[in-house]
Structure 1
Amino acid sequence: MAVKLYSSYAGGGGHPVLSGTAGALIALLDAVLINGYGLKTVDSIVVASSVATMTINSGHSFEVGNTALIAGATPSGLNGEKKILTVSSSQVTFDATGISDGTATGTITAKVSPLGWLKPFSGTNLAAYTSADSGSYGMYLRVDDTGTLDARVVGYEAMTDVNTGTGAFPTGTQLSGGMYAGKSSLANSTSRNWVLVGDERFFYLWVECNVASAGLMWAFGDLVSYTSTDLWCATLSAQGSSQVAYAGQWSTECVSYSANAAQPYMPRAAYGQPGSVKTSRVGGMMWNTGGASGAAGYTSNMLKFPNSTDNAVMVTHVHMAMSGSGLRGRYPGLFHCPQDLTGSGYNHRDRLPSMTDAPGRVGLMMRHGGPAFGVGANTVIDITGPWR
């Protein structure tokens, strides 16, 4: 399954704008999950030595790691989804192995490729999304984006319209109105930076609601299950209350911080008994119960960077734990770092070309700590894939 990267940081504009206004989150999710964005007419594509250079003189919305969706080119092998290798203000490159050197013909267009999900139901500032993948567990994400600072989100096992569903997680009793997906600390149209990484069955959305280069992150979709018989191994991991105004933002609501102020919910227990269950996260044997990924002061026995034997960044998978019954699955493509990365030189959105437990994968550093955690507080998302 293809892993795709999206963000507001790409030059050239054209990306969806997230702000503290009603409907802004749905507009972002529509663009990323369903439609793609940044459609441009291509001036030329030139292939040389198995690398295609695409020129868009009017500017573009791509960054390294994005997936472009190209159409209208001859030879036809240049069409379809292409992972972006390099970027400049007017050019991008991608792999063109098997295509002869030369200049493409045709009326060519390119845009940032959508993640490929479905939006079966919608209303005024309301939407429901679900995976289009045939192997998915088929859960729905309902987004109520009628508010300004936060949207409210609920997972469902099934839905018949945007306001009607069964098998809610969390239930109204567990958290009335649903979980919180932060947009901005200000109820206005000021844009906020965001990053979304996902595949056909799961996505993470990081949002810079308040503090520069430190954000809240939430997630939805199918976990990587530890058994083929668990048909409910999905989660909505978001905030249990609004955190957009907090000056020391952290990603408690998702996976970066191990204290369970966050509330990950799953639709059922692994054996199928109906009823939403609140769960917790475990970051392998190295995760202290109060440790923030990459942050100083993780524990009195903090692992230092770099690791003395191999100079590596140490990471561990993040697992979903059920009280009294052990580990049920893990978050796809997400890693927790038990080292103190303060002073390591790694910053928000830096790329890690090599990680323990993730050989051959490029990791994206995602900052989650405000002043309380320091600059080292980063969680790591695999942007290479596949996650499954």
Structure 2
Amino acid sequence: MTTTRVFQSTDTSAPVLTGQVGSLAALLEACLVGVGGVAYGSGGTAKTAAGWTLAFTATNKRAFRNSVAAGGTGHYFRIDDTGGTAAGAREAVLKGYVSMSDVDTGVGSDIMPDATLYPSGGWILKSDTATSTARAWRIIADEISCHLWVSADGGFSQGFHSFGDLASEVPGDNYRSYVLYQASVWSSGSNASRVATGAAETLLSPTTTAQSRGLSIMRAHAGVSAGSVQAGLPVFGRGSVNPLSGASGGAGAPCTSATSPGSGERYFTPLLVCAEGMIRGRLRGVYSCLNDLRSVASGTLQSSASGLPAGSQLMLLQACSSGAGNNSNVGTIAVETALAW
């Protein structure tokens, strides 16, 4: 049995995320591992860490493992927060391995994302300025998967990232680990790197080449040959074309009418992971909203959503691809915060 944990920058004694080296590495270590099982805080404000282990560490680098005891693969997820990308300390990079011998060295050929596409790893934007300005963040995690949301500029540059294990549809899938990251390195005004999710393609044919989808799975579904595969996420409330209606300016369907979005029933579907022309599985505890919820602020809680189990409480998070404030490309991601995934 796993336990869902919620960590937020507004919590008492919460770590601060900035555009400086090491801030994301320290944040993830606190929330996933903690000290003595405590992420931060004390007494009544203490937050219990998510139950991961810290396999290797170096200055501004961490390699985490999810919990085998809780049902995880025990694969390794490495954060390099040394500021070595073109964006400097504003970004960190994420890689996944089946095995590692130290914080910089993977063992064997199992690595994600593909090193030919992303030699340094997948990007995570922490802040649009390399300063000590604090940025809002949220981490929702259990012992197996970690979902990270960052407001990198305090406005429209909101990114959703994730790593851990999928809920796989492949029986005995030993290579179900994944990393979800930015599709391109950040630059001022860049839209492509502002969002880590989205699918303008058909459901079962996400882009599988080049740097157009920031999602990688450790191996193909057969699990025979080493080498990660690129995958896609059909996030219905986002994209240049609305996959529900085929209309341009895709933003999901109004809840009741175009003049009163959000006033009626909201519908959510599990966030599927599609690769190799099939549904490989889903992101654990994550849903895509079918409706137009662009006006709903990140962090809003949705209780008792239609079709979800009793006691469910979803946190709505926006993932925006436009630095100019054009929210037609916002997709609403919903993460379960109360129930086990």
TM-score range for the pair, normalised by the shorter chain length: 0.7 to 0.9
Q: Please give the residue correspondences for 1:257-276 in structure 2 after superposition, counting only pairs within 5 Å.
A: 257-259=198-200, 261-272=212-223, 273-276=225-228
Equivalent pair of 1:211/1:248 in contact (CA under 8 Å): no
* Partner of residue 117, structure 1: 52
Match for residue 198 of structure 1 among 138, 141, 152: 141
Residues of 2 paired with 1:217 and 1:291: CA distance?
20
Whether 2:113 is the aligned partner of 1:163: answer no
Q: TM-score, normalised by structure 2?
A: 0.81
Q: Secondary structure at the match of 2:77?
A: strand
Residues of 2 paired with 1:194 and 1:262: CA distance?
22
* Partner of residue 359, structure 1: 309
Whether 2:5 is the aligned partner of 1:4: answer yes
Q: Secondary structure at the match of 2:284?
A: strand
How many angstroms does 1:291 deviate by? 4.4
Q: Please give the residue correspondences for 1:296-375 in structure 2 after superposition, counting only pairs within 5 Å.
A: 299=250, 303-306=253-256, 311-324=264-277, 326-342=278-294, 346-360=296-310, 361-369=312-320, 371-373=325-327
Q: Which moved more, 1:167-176 or 1:328-337?
A: 167-176
Q: TM-score, normalised by structure 1?
A: 0.72
* Partner of residue 130, structure 1: 65
* Partner of residue 96, structure 1: none
Residues of 1 paired with 2:102 and 2:255: CA distance?
50
Q: Secondary structure at the match of 1:280?
A: coil
Whether 2:132 is the aligned partner of 1:189: answer yes
Residues of 2 paired with 1:291 and 1:367: CA distance?
16
> How large is the RMSD of aligned CA atoms in angstroms?
2.9
Q: Which residue identity is paired with 1:320?
A: V
Q: Secondary structure at the match of 1:282?
A: coil
Q: Which residue identity is paired with 1:313?
A: R
Q: Which residue identity is paired with 2:9?
A: S
Residues of 1 paired with 2:194 and 2:161: CA distance?
8
Can you list the C-alpha shifts for 1:23-62, whole angstroms capped at 9, x where unaligned?
111110111011134333x4xxxxxxxxxxx5xxxxx4xx
Can you list the C-alpha shifts for 1:63-105, whole angstroms capped at 9, x where unaligned?
xxxxxxxxxxxxxxxxxxxxxxxxxxxxxxxxxxxxxxxxxxx
Equivalent pair of 1:3/1:383 in contact (CA under 8 Å): yes
Can you list the C-alpha shifts for 1:149-205, whole angstroms capped at 9, x where unaligned?
101111111111111113111132121111101111111111111000011100111
Q: Secondary structure at the match of 1:26?
A: helix
Q: Which residue identity is paired with 1:120?
A: A
Residues of 1 paired with 2:243 and 2:148: CA distance?
18
Q: Against the structure 1 CA distance between its residues 214 and 235, is the aligned structure 2 distance closer, same or farther, given a 3 Å change threshold?
A: same
Whether 2:281 is the aligned partner of 1:281: answer no
Residues of 2 paired with 1:194 and 1:2: CA distance?
20
Whether 2:94 is the aligned partner of 1:142: answer no
Equivalent pair of 1:298/1:340 in contact (CA under 8 Å): no
Q: Which residue identity is paired with 1:112?
A: K
How many angstroms does 1:236 deviate by? 0.4
Q: Which moved more, 1:144-153 or 1:244-253?
A: 244-253
Q: Against the structure 1 CA distance between its residues 287 and 327, is the aligned structure 2 distance closer, same or farther, given a 3 Å change threshold?
A: farther
* Partner of residue 381, structure 1: 335
Q: Which residue identity is paired with 2:67?
A: A
* Partner of residue 80, structure 1: none
Can you list the C-alpha shifts for 1:5-28, whole angstroms capped at 9, x where unaligned?
001023xx4110111111111110
Equivalent pair of 1:321/1:329 in contact (CA under 8 Å): yes
Equivalent pair of 1:337/1:380 in contact (CA under 8 Å): yes
Equivalent pair of 1:365/1:381 in contact (CA under 8 Å): yes
Q: Which residue identity is paired with 2:73?
A: Y
Q: Against the structure 1 CA distance between its residues 177 and 197, is the aligned structure 2 distance closer, same or farther, given a 3 Å change threshold?
A: same
Residues of 2 paired with 1:244 and 1:379: CA distance?
24
* Partner of residue 242, structure 1: 185
Larger Rg: 1
Instruction: Name stretches of at least 5 consecutive residues in structure 2 with no aligned partner.
Output: 84-88, 201-206
Quick one: percent identity of the two aligned structures? 25
Equivalent pair of 1:215/1:367 in contact (CA under 8 Å): yes
Equivalent pair of 2:77/2:97 in contact (CA under 8 Å): yes
